[in-house]
Amino acid sequence: MAVIITGQGMAMAIVEEKSSRLIEVILGAVTATEFMAGKILGVLGSGLTQLAVWVGVTLIGLLYVLPTMSIGAELAGFDLSAALSIELIFYFSIFFTLGYFLYSVLFATVAATCTSTEELGQALFAAMLPLIVAFLSTFYVLTNPSTVATRVLSLLPPFTPLVMLARVNVLPPPLWEVWLGIVLLVLGIVVAGWLAAKILRYALLMHGKRPTMPELLSVMRAT
């Protein structure tokens, strides 16, 4: 939800700047890549601030309710330490940050190809689709954490942030698989950012005509 909300806000801001021609002034001072990097880093900072507030409120609450929770957990046979695992929090922080980068690049790229808010409303589903599919895949992963399909999904960059975290939470995979997923996710962010930069340079200053998929593919092939 945090990715979708902030990603949509960033995409809307990009389209509004394009439609008002403000972006032409901005690009007179910075490059298209610098412009989009600033947008994405701003969204990441917003997301991390939001996460810090959530974690802070949770920790403050636990200071008061932890003894009661511990008693209740013991009676129910539930291991509270597993839910509050430092390892799980560590991996969550990594996948949250890297996932934010990847999906922010997708939202920014889609927004750069739109010339109006109406077009953006129709195109946003393309940016949200990988996230939605990854989220739905976690339901399969939770009940089938050790299948080949689960292992493959957890190594595909668009699905890694949610699927690998679900595996870590349910049935921790081998450490090399977790870090392979992290490395592939970082490489996916680099590749997606490189391709996005090429598309952005071509699409940011276009007005009145949205670039077609064949045009975007030709731009990427030309680079």
Using one digit for the tens of pLDDT, what is the confidence trace for 203-214? 665 655 666 666
**What pLDDT does 212 receive?**
65
**What pLDDT does 183 receive?**
94
Number of domains in the chain: 1
**What pLDDT does 209 receive?**
61
Using one digit for the tens of pLDDT, what is the confidence trace for 114-172? 777 777 877 888 888 888 999 999 999 888 888 898 999 999 999 999 999 888 888 88
Please report which confidence band the pLDDT of residue 23 belongs to, taking 50, 70 and 90 as the band edges.
Answer: confident
User: Is the predicted pLDDT of residue 69 greater than 60, yes or no?
Assistant: no
Tokens of 195: 């391709």
Report how far residue 73's alpha carbon sits from residue 10's, in angstroms, rounded to the nearest whole number.
42
Please report which confidence band the pLDDT of residue 40 belongs to, taking 50, 70 and 90 as the band edges.
Answer: confident
Residues composing the chain: 223
User: Is the predicted pLDDT of residue 105 greater than 60, yes or no?
Assistant: yes
Phi, psi (deg, nearest 5) at residue 52: -60, -40
Residue 91 exposure: Cα atoms within 13 Å on the Cβ side: 22
Mean pLDDT of the chain: 78
Please report which confidence band the pLDDT of residue 75 belongs to, taking 50, 70 and 90 as the band edges.
Answer: very low
| Residues whose CB is less than 8 angstroms from the CB of residue 173 and which lie 6 or more positions away in sequence, other chains included | 145, 151, 154, 164, 167
Please report which confidence band the pLDDT of residue 16 belongs to, taking 50, 70 and 90 as the band edges.
Answer: confident
Using one digit for the tens of pLDDT, what is the confidence trace for 166-221? 888 888 888 999 999 999 999 998 888 777 777 777 766 565 566 666 666 665 66
**What pLDDT does 90 receive?**
86
> Could you tell me the residue range of the domain that residue 93 belongs to?
2-222
| Residues 128, 4 contacting (CB under 8 angstroms) | yes
Reduce the DSSP state of residue 32 to 3 states and report it: helix
| Residues whose CB is less than 8 angstroms from the CB of residue 140 and which lie 6 or more positions away in sequence, other chains included | 149, 150
Report how far residue 144's alpha carbon sits from residue 146's, in angstroms, rounded to the nearest whole number.
6
| Residues 157, 189 contacting (CB under 8 angstroms) | yes
Report how far residue 86's alpha carbon sits from residue 82's, in angstroms, rounded to the nearest whole number.
9
Reduce the DSSP state of residue 82 to 3 states and report it: helix
Using one digit for the tens of pLDDT, what is the confidence trace for 48-58? 787 788 777 87
Report how far residue 74's alpha carbon sits from residue 183's, in angstroms, rounded to the nearest whole number.
38
For residue 101, give the nearest of 111, 109, 90 by alpha carbon: 109
Q: pTM of the full predicted structure? A: 0.75
* 117-143 helix and 160-170 helix, angle to the nearest 10 degrees: 20
User: Is the predicted pLDDT of residue 13 greater than 50, yes or no?
Assistant: yes
Which string of DSSP letters, residue by residue, matches 145-188? Answer: TTSHHHHHHHHSTTTHHHHHHHHHHHSPPPHHHHHHHHHHHHHH
**What pLDDT does 180 receive?**
93
Determine the straight-line distance between the first and last CA of the chain, rounded to whole angstroms: 34
